[in-house]
Amino acid sequence: MKFGALEAGGTKMVCAIGNENGEILERISIPTETPEKTLPAIAAFFQGKDIAALGIGCFGPLDVHKDSPTYGHITTTPKLAWRNCDIVGYLENELHVPVGFDTDVNGSMLGEATWGCAKGLDTAIYITIGTGVGVGVLAGGKLLHGMLHPEAGHILLIPHPDDHYKGKCPYHGTCLEGMAAGPAIEDRWGKKAYDLADNQQVWEFESYYIAQALVNYILTLSPQKIILGGGVMHQEQLMPMIREQVAKLLNGYVETPEMHDLENYIVLPSLDDNQGIMGAVKLAMEALEG
C-alpha cells in the first residue's frame, strides 16, 4: 500500500511516496512560495500516484483539533502569505483521500518513535534547532496536543552571565528560539553558525541555552529519550557540551539510569534526516485507520 507524505517547511515542501514499512519510494522538493502557487504543485505530485492517504507534518502554529472550525489551518504563522491557510482542506478536496495532520516536529517525533531511536518508548521529545526551534512531544504513547500543541521552543531562559544579547524573538526576546536558533546566532555574532565553528564562546552560550531548556523539559515531561535535530546540531562539538551542561544544571537531582548514560539519552536523530517525512507516512497510515 502506498501513502503520501508532505513535510511542509518554510523554505521547501518535501513531497514523498512511502509504504507501511517506512520505506520512501519517491520524493521531490518544491520551493515554499505562496499557497496559490505551491499548493497546486503539491497536489499535482500526488495525483495519479494511487495513495491510500496523505500525512502532513507542517510548520505552524496549526489548528490540530478536529472539532474546531479551523481544523487543518496554518494559523498565526509569521509567514504572512500562509496565515489562515486551510492546507488540509485544499489537499483533501484535490486528492479525495484521508489526511493526517500535525506539526513538523511532532511528525519527526512520530518517525523516530515508529522506526527510529525512540521505538518502544512511550514518552520522548524531538527538538529541532535551526531557523527556529520546535519541540515534538510523545507522551503516554501519543503525540501531545492539549490546548494547541507544544510551542516549547519559546520557553523563557535565564541569559548566560556573559551574554548581553537581547534575543531575536519578536514575541519573547530571550526565549530558547530567541537565543539559540540560527538567526539569533547570526544576529549576535555577525556570521552564520557554520562560519563560527572555532569560536568557543559561541558554543558555550549555545550549549548553556539548549541545556537549560532540556533541564526544563526533563523536569516537566520526564522523557525517556531526547532527540536533537536541525541545522545548528550539525556542529559536532555541541552535543558533548550540551550533555555536560545538563548534568551540571540538574546537579544530581534526578536519579535514573538515563542520567548516568547521557550519551544514549540525549542523542541525534537516527533516520538519516528522513524522520520528518517518515513521520508523515505514519500520519497517513493513522488517518487511513481512522
At 20, list the grid cell. 507501511
Of all helices (H) and strands (E), which one includes residue 18? strand 12-19
pLDDT tens sequence across 49-103: 999 999 999 999 999 999 999 999 999 888 899 999 999 999 999 999 999 999 9
pLDDT tens sequence across 220-256: 999 999 999 999 999 999 999 999 999 999 999 999 9
Cβ neighbors of 216 (< 8 A, separation 6 or more) are: 155
pLDDT at residue 240, as a whole number: 98
Q: Which CATH architecture has domain 2-104+273-289?
A: 2-Layer Sandwich (3.30)
Output the CA–CA distances (angstroms, integers) from residue 84 to 62, 73, 229, 251, in the order listed.
9, 6, 28, 44
pLDDT at residue 290 greater than cutoff 90: no
The CATH code that applies to domain 117-267 is 3.30.420.40
Percent of the chain with pLDDT over 70: 100
Tell me, what amino acid is at 25?
Answer: L
DSSP for 219-279, written as a single string? HHH--S-EEEESGGGG-TTHHHHHHHHHHHHHTT-S-SGGGG-GGGTEE--SSTT-HHHHH
Q: Domain spans of the chain? A: 2-104+273-289, 117-267
Q: Which position has the grid cell 507516512?
A: 281
pLDDT at residue 8, as a whole number: 97
Same CATH fold assignment for domains 2-104+273-289 and 117-267: yes
Using DSSP's 3-state secondary structure scheme, residue 31 falls into: strand
pTM for the whole thing? 0.95
